[in-house]
Amino acid sequence: MRKEFRLFFIFLLQNLYLNVCSETIYSNKNINYVDNNLGKKIFPLTSIKGNLFFTFGGIKNNNNESINFTYEKKIKIKTSFNENNKLLTIIESGNAFESPLNLDLQSKKGNNLKISTLQYQFKINDNYKGTVGPMMFGYNGLEGKSSLYNERIAILDGSKFTTSSGIGPGLGVSRLFEKGFNLSLKISSNNTIITNETIHFISQIGLNRKDWGATITSNFNNKFNAYGIATYFTKGNFPSISTSVEIKNGRKLKTSYNWIFALQKKYKNKNFGLAFGTHNDQEKIAYEGWFEININDKLKIIPVVFVRETNKNNSELGFAFNTKMIY
C-alpha cells in the first residue's frame, strides 16, 4: 500500500507541476500544454476524473432479510502522447465483498486502492487501431458497440460469456471499415503468466450505425467456448431496444445460455432502464428496473429494484438506493 501511495503521490506532484506550467481546463480536469502563439495543444495531455458510489440496499429471500451499505471509488486517468493514442489507468476500491445485491456498480476490490485497468490504445494507420496492456477486461480492445442499455448499473449483462477473460494482459487489433463495419481480434489472459490454461482468443464482427447496430462475438479458451449475437435499435422518442443471446459450452461444462432484453429512455434530466433475462449459469431469470436522476452535473441519484429467481422456491426481491458523485 505504501508503494502504491508513493507512486500515486509522485503522479499527483507531476500533474501539479503541469498545472503550474500550462493552461488547465477545470470543467473536466484536463492538463494541457498550449502554444499561446499558435493556439495549438502541445502533448502530453492528461485528464483525471473520479466517480464515487454510495449503495444502500436490501434483499429479501424466503424469511431472510438483509440491509447493507457499500461504496465504490474509481479514478480514471487518461494521458495522450499525441492525437492518435491514449493511455488509460483506472484505480478503484470498494467494500462489496459480501453484499448480496451483486450489482454491477458495486466493487469488490477492497478498501485499498488498486489498479483495475491499465491499457494503451494507439492508431496504426487510417484503418487499424491497436490496444495493449497488462490489465485489461475482456471487452477492452473490442471496437464494436453491442448495446444501448447501461449494463453497468444493475445485474443483467448481455456479454458476460463472450467477454469473460478475467483481468490480465491483452493485445487487440481492430479494423475499421466504411459505413460502421468493424472487425476486432484479441488475445488475452486471466493471469500474468500466459499459458494454454489461461489464454483467451476473442473475436468480434460489428456493424454500428447511429440508430441501429449489431455484433457477433466469440471467446475460445481452454475451459469453455462462447458465441454471442447482440443487436440494438433506437428511433425518435421511443425507448432504445437492446437484445443479446449467448451460448457457452465446454468438455466439462453443461451447455448454458445467457440472454437479455432491455429498454432505455432518456427524458429531460432522467434516464430510465428496464430489462429481463438470465443472471447466472443455471439460466435463472431476473427482472430489473432503474432510473437515474441528474441532480446536477456532479451528483446523480439512481434507485434500482429487481426480482431474480434462485434455486430455491421463492425468488429474491431487492432494492438499492445509489448516489453517484462525479469529481
Predicted confidence pLDDT, tens digits, the chain (327 residues): 444 444 443 344 344 333 433 333 333 445 554 455 555 677 789 999 999 999 999 999 887 899 999 999 999 999 999 889 999 999 999 999 989 999 999 999 999 999 999 999 999 999 999 999 999 999 999 999 999 999 999 999 999 999 999 999 999 999 999 889 999 999 999 999 889 999 999 999 999 998 999 999 999 999 999 999 999 999 988 999 999 999 999 988 899 999 999 999 998 889 999 999 999 989 999 999 999 999 999 999 999 999 999 887 789 999 999 999 999
Residue 221: inside a domain, yes or no? yes
Q: Are 122 and 113 in contact (CB under 8 A)?
A: no
Name the amino acid, one letter, at 103.
L
What pLDDT, on a 0 to 100 scale, did the predictor assign at position 23? 35
Backbone torsions φ then ψ of 12, nearest 5 degrees: -65, -40
Residue 4: inside a domain, yes or no? no
| Cα–Cα distance for residue pair 30/271, rounded to 1 Å | 27
| Cα–Cα distance for residue pair 262/299, rounded to 1 Å | 25
Which among 310, 303, 301 has a CA at the least distance from the CA of 288? 303
Residue 268: inside a domain, yes or no? yes
What pLDDT, on a 0 to 100 scale, did the predictor assign at position 64? 85
Residue 2: inside a domain, yes or no? no
What pLDDT, on a 0 to 100 scale, did the predictor assign at position 39? 55
What pLDDT, on a 0 to 100 scale, did the predictor assign at position 314? 84
Residue 117: inside a domain, yes or no? no
Which among 199, 82, 183 has a CA at the least distance from the CA of 141? 183
What pLDDT, on a 0 to 100 scale, did the predictor assign at position 151? 94
DSSP H or E segment with residue 17? helix 2-21
* Overall domain count for the chain: 1
What pLDDT, on a 0 to 100 scale, did the predictor assign at position 32? 54
Give the domain range for residue 242.
Answer: 124-283
Cα–Cα distance list, 312 to 8, 10, 46, 176, 308 (Å): 46, 52, 50, 47, 11
Residue 228: inside a domain, yes or no? yes
Residue found by looking up cell 500550462 in the block: 22
| Cα–Cα distance for residue pair 253/249, rounded to 1 Å | 6
What pLDDT, on a 0 to 100 scale, did the predictor assign at position 21? 38
Per-residue pLDDT tens digits for 223-277: 999 999 999 999 988 999 999 999 999 988 899 999 999 999 998 889 999 999 9
Cα–Cα distance list, 256 to 1, 81, 221, 275 (Å): 40, 44, 16, 20
